[in-house]
Amino acid sequence: MAQNRYDSTRQWYAIHTYSGYEEKVADSIRQRINAVDMADKIFDVMVPKEKQAAFLVEFESTLPALYDKMAGVMMTEYTHDDVKAILKFYETPVGKKMTDKSGVIAEKNLAASQEWAMGLQGMMMKYMQ
C-alpha cells in the first residue's frame, strides 16, 4: 500500500533562500538526504512554482515598508554628512567595484554558508539521537 505523503502526523518545514537559488538549495537538500540516509524521515523537497509568480508580486509589495524601516535604522546611526560621504564613496572606483561585485560576493557567501551548514548536519544528528 502506498504511503500517504500528506498525512497529518508529518511536519512541514519551509526554508528561506535567495531568489533564484531555490532549485540549487532543493538539490543540495536532496543530496544531503541521501548522504545521511534520511530518506525514510524526509519525504519530499518541493519548490512550488505555480504559486511563485503570485508570491513575488505580494513579496515585492512589502519591500517599500522594509526600505523605510532600514532607512530609519540608518538615520539613527548616520548623520546627514555621513550619508553624503557614503554616497561619495560609492562614486569612487572601489565603491563602484563593491557595488558591481555584490551579487558575486552574495553568491559565494551563500555557497560558503551552505557548505558550513551541511557540515553541521553530522554534529546535529549526534545531539538528536
Residue 5 has pLDDT above 70, yes or no: no
Who's near 121: CB < 8 A, 6+ residues apart?
32, 36
First-to-last alpha carbon distance for the chain, in angstroms, is 30
Q: Residue 1: its pLDDT value, please?
A: 43
Asked if 28 contacts 47 with a C-beta cutoff of 8 angstroms, the reply is: no
Q: What 3-state DSSP class applies to 62?
A: helix
Please check the confidence at residue 12 and state whether its pLDDT lies above 90. Answer: no
Q: How far is CA 82 from CA 40, 70, 71, 88, 100, in A?
A: 55, 16, 13, 10, 22
Q: How many CB atoms lie within 10 A of CB 24?
A: 15
- Kindly tell me the burial class for residue 72, based on how many C-beta atoms sit within 10 Å of its own C-beta (0-12, 13-18, 19 or more): exposed
Quickly count: other Cβ atoms within 10 Å of residue 111's Cβ.
13
For residue range 69-113, list pLDDT tens digits in order: 999 999 999 999 999 999 999 999 999 999 999 999 999 998 899
81 or 124, which is more confident?
81
pLDDT at 7: 57
Q: What is the pLDDT of residues 47-65, one digit of tens each?
A: 777 777 787 888 899 999 9
Q: What is the mean pLDDT of residues 31-43?
A: 79
User: Which residue would you say has higher pLDDT here, 67 or 120?
Assistant: 67
